[in-house]
Amino acid sequence: QVQLVESGGGLVQPGGSLRLSCAASGSIFSINAMGWYRQAPGKQRELVAVIISGGSTNYADSVKGRFTISRDNAKNTIYLQMNSLKPEDTAVYYCNADVTRPLGMGAMSRSDYWGQGTQVTVSS
C-alpha cells in the first residue's frame, strides 16, 4: 500500500508565496516520477510540474519562472515552491507518484497514486 500526504495549501494574496509538500509512504521499491497537477473549477486537470528519478524537471508554460519543483529522495517527498502567485493559480493541487512496489517472490507492480488534493486560493 502507498499513501501520499499533502500539506501547505491555503489562502494567499496575489504576489504572495506558498510551498506545498507531498510525502509518499508505504511499501515502495522505487519511485520513477512524482509531480503536481491542478484543477480549477470548470477546467480539466493539468500538469503543473514533474520531476523524474534522474532529476530532470518539466513545467507548464503558465508557471515557468514562478514555480519550482524539488525532491528529497531520503524522505520520498517532493515540494512545490510557488512564488508571485496570481488569481489564475487558484485550484485544487494534487500530488501524483509513479511507484514500483514489491509483491514478493521477486515480482513487482508499477502503479500511479494520487493524493487527496489541497486547495490553493489566491485572492485579495
What number of residues does the chain have? Answer: 124
Per-residue pLDDT, 100: 96
Per-residue pLDDT, 95: 97
Per-residue pLDDT, 1: 85
Burial class (CB in 10 A: 0-12, 13-18, 19+), 65: exposed
What are the distances in angstroms from CA 25 to CA 3, 36, 72?
5, 17, 13
Sites in the chain below the pLDDT cut of 70: none
Per-residue pLDDT, 20: 98
**Which one, of 121, 123, 95, lies nearest residue 20 by Cα?**
95
What would the grid cell of residue 19 be? Answer: 510551498
